[in-house]
A and B are shown apart, each in its own frame.
Chain A
Amino acid sequence: MTMAADLFGKASGASSPGWLPILSGCRSTAPQPDSDFAQHEQQEAAISNSLMMTLLLVSVTAPSYWYVRTPLMAAAFIGMLKPESRRSAYLWLFVSATMFASNYHHWFEADNHKHLLAYWCLAISLSLEARNVHKTLASNARRLLAGTFALATFWKLYSPDFSNGAFFEYTLLVDPRFQAVGTWLGSISEQAQQSNRAALSLLQLGSDAPANISLRTTDQVHHLSTMLTAWTIVIEASVSAAFLLPLRRIVWARDLLLMLFVVTTYAVAPVLGFAYLLLAMGAMSAGGARKRTQVAYVAVFVLVSTYSAPWGPVLQSIGSPS
């Protein structure tokens, strides 16, 4: 089998779940004469859902450098248009290698989800030629999710300005991305936040700046930052533990915790590329045995998409202190 033939699916023997695997994965559960066949079909749908989500992610979050973006967009479109190509290990190896090269060259700029996406594409490439594709891909997803959350938890415990609540307090006072939450739940006025950002700009003048500048804050911001700190450590540690431990009877807890993390965290921290990637991997790790879980992942995927709407002004008008 040549690489090109495999890439364009001419000689691929993989089953084709159709153009819209997300919907095919959500079809009603008609009784099957053969339960093994039904399970196999659901596993195929789970794989296709996850691959489609990942291709969408590759096309949407490709780095802006033309020499990385162009090949990644081309590969993603080929994969989305031709279901057989979507199941080609070589297509995914190409996507993964391009991402690794880009992350290596721009290592001091690349966001962490770009690294995770490269690992995930490598995992897909390796798994698609395994004897048991579904099991290998699900294991990869589980291990990558466990590792990511374990490291995220480690850094939050290791960093003194996170564990003492300073990170969230600073973020609520200064970061424009958190302005709506600061106003809505922290009762800090927009003017106070603008004044804090002006203070930060002053310090960015270098040695000419004053040695110390006070920021405007509220008691609610202080309490809110303590709560957000505790919640973040608890939820990230829980997701990590859930994906690390062999939860036989309560395996659903993994999906519940991951979805809870995504729904709550990305409502506040709008890094939607990371959210989509976690959901694509979560959907794969959940496997094809539970159709409701797959539907739940797709529903959360859609819900998270609505986070990009400009909710900030609405929340600020509700929570703005008089």
Chain B
Amino acid sequence: MLPIATDRLRAWLPAAVLAAVACVHLYRVNAEGLSPWKGGGFGMFSTINARSHRVLRVVLRKSTHVGEATFSIDPPQHTKELRRAAEELRSVPTKERLHRYMQLVSQLEYALYRNTKSLTTPSGAEPTPRVLAVGGPGTDSSPEPLPYESLAVELRQIRFHRDPSSLSSSELLSISMPRVSR
């Protein structure tokens, strides 16, 4: 028999666990920016402030003869660690998670791809060049190395305004650093 003495305790324990998790959830929403949709607090369908409305981008910058060129790319999906760090950052956008994510993406090499699997182009059309992390999904063609000078990670929040109906995007967190020479 499970070591719980009374029926009363057996009838209260699950609800007590629910309440405890909900308190942790409330704290994390207010202190760490956790989306109310996740974390066991039953805040689903209460806000558009969901992970899907937090946009994570990796931005590479380099100087050219006509000025600064900026390449804003989707989060690299090479490894489980990268995917998990990106999802955690979008769910709970803290500076610690941002720094950890920056550390991971700064270790990657980036390149300009002329042909990528993930691009959908009309037949016969010239595919648009795209910057991707080397070795990631959809990077089977030969790349041109991209000697970028600085790297940034940006997390933005998409918001909806009712009167009049419109969408806007604002920065939640960002970090930038020069390229680490190897």
Interface of A toward B, CB cutoff 8 Å: 89, 93, 103, 107-112, 115-116, 119-120, 122-123, 125-127, 129-132, 135-136, 139-140, 143-144, 146-148, 151-152, 155-156, 158-159, 161-162, 164-167, 169-171, 173, 199-200, 203-209, 211-217, 232, 269
Shortest Cβ gap from A50 to chain B (Å):
14
| B125 proximal to A (CB < 8 A) | no
Shortest Cβ gap from A71 to chain B (Å):
19
Shortest Cβ gap from A76 to chain B (Å):
19
Main secondary structure of the interface of B (DSSP, over half): mixed
List residues of chain B with CB within 8 A of the CB of A217: 164-165
Given A110-B40, A151-B41, residue A209 in contact with residue B169 (CB < 8 A): yes
List residues of chain B with CB within 8 A of the CB of A204: 55, 158
CB<8 Å pairs between A and B, sample of 12? A108-B92, A123-B14, A126-B13, A144-B18, A152-B46, A159-B46, A161-B48, A162-B46, A206-B55, A208-B72, A215-B165, A215-B167
Main secondary structure of the interface of A (DSSP, over half): helix
Q: Is the CB of B48 within 8 A of A155?
A: no
List residues of chain A with CB within 8 A of the CB of B34: 108
Shortest Cβ gap from B1 to chain A (Å):
5
Interface of B toward A, CB cutoff 8 Å: 1-2, 4, 7, 10-15, 17-19, 21-22, 34, 36-49, 51, 55, 57, 59, 70, 72, 87-88, 91-92, 154, 156, 158, 160-162, 164-169, 171
List residues of chain A with CB within 8 A of the CB of B51: 108
Q: Is the CB of A103 within 8 A of B46?
A: no
List residues of chain A with CB within 8 A of the CB of B11: 126-127, 130, 135-136, 139-140, 143
